[in-house]
Amino acid sequence: MDSAAAISLCPSTPGWNLDRPFLTGQFYQETKISSGTTEYKGFSADSSSGADKAIGCYHATIQELIVIDDLLSTLIGIEGRYISIKKVRGKEDDITFQVDASMDLALQEFAKRLFPLCESYILINQFVETRSQFKTGLVNHAFAAALRALLLDYQAMVAQLEHQFRLGKLSIQGLWFYCQPMMGSMQALSMVVKKAAADNCVGSAVLNLLQSQAKAMAGDHVVRSLLEKMSQSASTAYLGILERWVYEGVIDDPYGEFFIAENKSLQKESLTQDYDAKYWQQRYSLKDEIPSFLANAAETILITGKYLNVMRECGHSIQIPVAEKSKLTSAGSNHHYLECIKSAYDFASGELLNLVKNKYDLMGKLQSIKHYLLLDQGDFLVHFMDTAREELMKKPDEISVEKLQSLLDLALRSTAAGADPCHEDLLCCVERTTLLKRLSTLKDLEISRSAPDSNDLEEPLSITGLETFSLNYKVRWPLSLVISRKALTKYQLIFRFLFHCKHVDRQLSGAWQVHQGLRKLDMQGTTVSVSSLLCRNMLKFINSLLHYLTFEVLEPNWHVMLNRLQTAKSIDEVIQYHDFFLDKCLRECVLLSPALLKKVERLKLICLQYAAAMQRLITSSLDTTDNDTLSNDSPSIEKYKNLKLRTPYQMLRLAPENVTVLESVLKFEKEFSFELHSLGPILSSGSRAEPYLTHLAQWILGVGKDQ
């Protein structure tokens, strides 16, 4: 190898012309001593006689030759005859050099100037040997390989210096002249390897160390350039891992060096099973140690690989157009690698979004869920509630879910819902707790932090399937990313609220029909008139509530979400918009306001109690024959077509019963009015922070004012 091979170590020495004249003009290729024996570098041909001599016994010129010979050995980590290398046991980076005390002081000074270079070589060589092991990782392997190539150039330079010395053309001043330019570079590298060894750096930590050290040497262009080249060499293997991640969605990281961690214990199936599933957030996550040159793009890199991984798990062929210029082969100062990452992200994002929207019909699934769980098309529900009423009247533990499922399938096939290809994904389920208690168990919802004590909530004495019935929906990968178990649970909460409101509306409508059939039975009209007025107010309340929920909350928010989904550029934006829609609907449907929800539930309970009591009380006030006519639970006007007008004697006999009915009606009216008016302060106090409460107040607080 010629002298040009060492230019990288001492670029300030033009041409490395070792034949140039030295500063001293004196050099002794061979020296004649009194015995007539020819000696090179100051030692006698009889080495045994010179081995015991102190260097001070020789003439200064002979000492210079001996010191040069020893220094050439020390430069590559080998002890000389009069220069020794000492290492402290257990401290591999603590190296000291000792010289013979009898050495000429000027020569000692020259030798000490070169010791830092000798120490740097030893430390770097030691690092190369230890970091070439498999367990140290790909980055350390690449860094060690780059250092090894550098040391080969360094050793070639020392060999050339030794060759010049053998030719008698190298003095101690010349040795210092040629070694001085490389000292800064070698010392900078030795500082890096010392820190890397002390902190046991691997992967990103090594790259960050090289980057920070290069920035610290901003004033020394030569050293900074060398450290940047070392950083590029060390990052080659790292960028190979990065390439597979952003182009294939695969982490090929045998030593755990990559800044993205994979948690294999989290499976995609958990998205449809676990409310608190963390698959999308934690299956792949960023580590604390990220290469500084990738820090700004770390989130983009993470998301790009996640998108590709989803497509790969769907069996979708990933064909990213990777031109040679787009490969992440270097992290140069032109930041071209950032453009490559951005292009890969745009491709992966668009490809996954098209896959979910087109092949897996995300919008169709959401529309189907809206039909069934948000009661957008309620024709099937009317049919189902008619046929399943008897089963839903049972306690939750006694209900046959299989029977409900068959009745639901029948209702779906018998109505317009049968034309929906997704109707087979609809399932029945029965909860075990009331709506408010279920809400309080969901820790991520606001209600869990402000819900009243469970003992403070007045519930029906006997909870039936009408309060706990819900629908479920089958969702498959990758749509489960958007319609997860958490999202479905929120849909179910809204469905339960709507379903129970529909049930209350049906019961009050039945009671209203009874009143229309019995209006002529009361000659004076007091009881039936008062009860009819109360029934009408209750119907107005529940209808106003349903209108608010449907046309003031669900429909407007749904259309806003659809418009946003049309402009979404990534699956994460789709998830964000969908979750925002559900949370907003939950909040505006008063499901996240425990005090307000408690009042609404109390009002619905009074309505149900009134509807049941009116049928029972009015029925008990009739004759036995008529009671037989009214014995059926279904409050239909058809049951009262055969009722005849009572004679004055019969009406007189029924007067005490009418008084009892009237007292009950007045009691229900008082309770209903009290609970309804108590909503005013709650709605007023919260309307400033929550404007939607103003709309709710406009709809339901006007009930009864036209009496």
Residue 58 confidence (pLDDT): 87
Say if residue 262's pLDDT is above 70.
Answer: yes
Residue 29 confidence (pLDDT): 34
Residue 431 confidence (pLDDT): 92
List own/partner pairs for 93-101 with CB under 8 A and 24 or more apart: 93/123, 93/194, 93/197, 93/198, 95/119, 95/122, 95/123, 100/54, 100/55, 100/56
Average pLDDT estimate for 456-461: 50
Could you give the percent of the chain with pLDDT greater than 90? 50
Residue identified by tokens 């140069």 is 332
Residue 253 confidence (pLDDT): 92
Say if residue 31's pLDDT is above 90.
Answer: no
Residue 460 confidence (pLDDT): 52
Residue 652 confidence (pLDDT): 43
Residue 689 confidence (pLDDT): 75
More confident residue, 23 or 429: 429
Confidence class of residue 327 from pLDDT cuts 50, 70 and 90?
low
Comparing 74-83, 183-192, 218-227, 676-685, the range with the smallest average pLDDT is 676-685
One-letter amino acid of 312: R
Q: Is the peptide bond before 421 cis (omega within 30 degrees of 0)?
A: no
Average pLDDT estimate for 26-35: 32
Comparing 32-36, 457-461, 534-538, the range with the smallest average pLDDT is 32-36
Average pLDDT estimate for 183-199: 92
Confidence class of residue 370 from pLDDT cuts 50, 70 and 90?
very high
More confident residue, 514 or 601: 601
Residue 538 confidence (pLDDT): 93
Comparing 10-19, 317-326, 411-420, the range with the smallest average pLDDT is 10-19
CA nearest neighbour of 120 among 77, 89, 181? 77
Residue 413 confidence (pLDDT): 87
Say if residue 67's pLDDT is above 50.
Answer: yes
- Paired residues of 52 in beta bridges: none
Say if residue 332's pLDDT is above 60.
Answer: no
Confidence class of residue 18 from pLDDT cuts 50, 70 and 90?
very low
Confidence class of residue 690 from pLDDT cuts 50, 70 and 90?
confident
Say if residue 452's pLDDT is above 70.
Answer: no
Residue pair 223/255 in contact (Cβ under 8 Å)? The answer is no
Comparing 296-310, 382-396, 621-635, the range with the smallest average pLDDT is 621-635
Residue 364 confidence (pLDDT): 92
User: CA 700: distance to chain centroid?
Assistant: 42
> How many C-beta neighbours within 10 Å does residue 307 have?
26
Residue 441 confidence (pLDDT): 86
More confident residue, 703 or 93: 93
Residue 133 confidence (pLDDT): 84
Confidence class of residue 316 from pLDDT cuts 50, 70 and 90?
confident
Comparing 229-243, 438-452, 514-528, the range with the smallest average pLDDT is 514-528
> How many C-beta neighbours within 10 Å does residue 645 have?
9
- Paired residues of 426 in beta bridges: 473
Residue 519 confidence (pLDDT): 63
Confidence class of residue 345 from pLDDT cuts 50, 70 and 90?
very high
Say if residue 325's pLDDT is above 80.
Answer: no
Confidence class of residue 241 from pLDDT cuts 50, 70 and 90?
very high
Comparing 49-58, 75-84, 242-251, 466-475, the range with the smallest average pLDDT is 49-58
Confidence class of residue 127 from pLDDT cuts 50, 70 and 90?
very high
H or E stretch at 292: none
Residue 50 confidence (pLDDT): 45
H or E stretch at 263: none
Residues in the chain: 707
Could you give the percent of the chain with pLDDT greater than 70? 79
Confidence class of residue 461 from pLDDT cuts 50, 70 and 90?
low
Residue 333 confidence (pLDDT): 55
Residue 188 confidence (pLDDT): 93
Average pLDDT estimate for 432-442: 88
Say if residue 320's pLDDT is above 80.
Answer: no
Residue 453 confidence (pLDDT): 52
Residue 443 confidence (pLDDT): 77
Residue 406 confidence (pLDDT): 94
Say if residue 330's pLDDT is above 90.
Answer: no
The chain-wide mean pLDDT, for the chain, equals 81
Say if residue 573's pLDDT is above 70.
Answer: yes
Identify the three-state secondary structure at position 687.
Answer: helix
> How many C-beta neighbours within 10 Å does residue 509 have?
16
More confident residue, 418 or 460: 418
**Sign, Cα dihedral of 622, 627, 633, 634:** negative
Instruction: Kindly provide the residue ranges of all beta strands, DSSP E only, lying in 194-293, ordered along the sequence.
Output: 260-262, 284-286
Say if residue 326's pLDDT is above 60.
Answer: no
Q: Which one-letter DSSP state was computed for residue 32?
A: E
